[in-house]
Amino acid sequence: MRELRRQVELLTNQRARVDVERDNLIDDLQKLKQRLQEEIHLKEEAENNLAAFRADVDAATLARIDLERRIESLQEEIAFLKKVHEEEIRELQSQLQEQQVQVEMDVSKPDLTAALRDIRAQYENIAAKNISEAEEWYKSKVSDLTQAANKNNDAIRQAKQEMMEYRHQIQSFTCEIDALKGTNDSLMRQMREMEERFAGEAGNYQDTIQRLEEEIRHLKDEMARHLREYQDLLNVKMALDVEIATYRKLLEGEESRISLPIQTFSAINFRETSPEQRSSEVHSKKTVTIKTIETRDGEVVSEAMQQHNEMM
């Protein structure tokens, strides 16, 4: 029984230790799952930021393309205006040359020559002014577009740099997530192996416990049977002891009745008488004493004496 109890306690302690190890593994797995969720959340946040920066880069690229198109359009417009202006100048110059030829042929018209000179000066001033304004406007637009393009280029470079940083972070998070997934898979595999092994050991322990319990029940049944037999034997012994004591008491009583009677005789007095008187005068007395001793387990319990007088 003591060995069986020791084995049961050993199995119980081993099972408790296995339960503690399983709980520790479950806690580690939960922590790894929580860390994995945090890393996934950070990865999603980085991907969202990267998508936002990509949208900004796309918007900046579209703005740059739009500005380049506007620059090209303005350059084309300036070229067209220059071409128109040059054609107007050539036309004016041809007109002035024709008028100058006519003036040289007709010297008698000085007022017309002066007027043409004035008109030519006015047109040249207007053309110079238009060219200057067009060049200033062109330079201003080019400067504005250049500044906007530089700003967009700076924004694009910054966005590209941040995008590269986020890509590095995403790669780092991806590597860490892969490592955590590998660790998680390894722990899950270890936990499954431990659960299978513990299940097998628990089954073996359960079989051993059932076998030990069956042996304990069998031993208890045998002990109960032995106790019943012992009780029956004890009852028989007690009955025999009582019967033996009774027979012993009876035997001792019979022995006391047989061996203890004491006879006492009184003194007999003789005197000289005649033969006739001797038969009538001679008297004898017999006293019988019966001593009764009661014993129990070899000890004297009670003692009594009885006397009987008999005439002889």
pLDDT in tens, 200-227: 777 777 787 788 888 888 888 888 888 8
Backbone conformation region of residue 298, classed left if phi is above 0, alpha if psi is from -120 to 50, else beta? left
pLDDT in tens, 113-155: 666 667 667 766 776 776 677 677 767 766 776 777 677 677 7
Q: Considering only residues 272 and 33, tell me which one the structure prediction assigns the higher pLDDT.
A: 33
Mean pLDDT of the chain: 71
For residue 109, the model assigns a pLDDT of 45
Is 301:285 a contact under the CB 8 Å cutoff? no
Dihedrals phi, psi of 278, to nearest 5 degrees: -65, -35
Q: What percent of the chain has pLDDT over 70?
A: 67
Provide mean pLDDT across the span 291-311.
Answer: 60
Q: Considering only residues 257 and 90, tell me which one the structure prediction assigns the higher pLDDT.
A: 90
For residue 114, the model assigns a pLDDT of 66
For residue 278, the model assigns a pLDDT of 41
Model confidence at 253, pLDDT cuts 50, 70, 90, reads confident
- Any long-range contacts for 121-124 (C-beta under 8 Å, 24+ apart)? 123/92
Model confidence at 302, pLDDT cuts 50, 70, 90, reads low
Above 60 in pLDDT, residue 282?
no
Above 60 in pLDDT, residue 264?
no
Lowest-pLDDT range of 195-199, 264-268, 283-287: 264-268
> What is the rounded CA–CA span in Å between residue 114 and residue 117?
5
Q: What percent of the chain has pLDDT over 90?
A: 0
> What is the rounded CA–CA span in Å between residue 307 and residue 284?
17
Dihedrals phi, psi of 261, to nearest 5 degrees: -60, 135
Above 80 in pLDDT, residue 233?
yes
Segment of 41-55, 105-119, 223-237 carrying the highest mean pLDDT? 223-237
Q: Considering only residues 93 and 45, tell me which one the structure prediction assigns the higher pLDDT.
A: 45
Q: Considering only residues 6 and 228, tell me which one the structure prediction assigns the higher pLDDT.
A: 228
Segment of 157-171, 175-189, 239-253 carrying the highest mean pLDDT? 239-253
The pTM score is 0.34
Dihedrals phi, psi of 307, to nearest 5 degrees: -120, 140
Above 60 in pLDDT, residue 110?
no
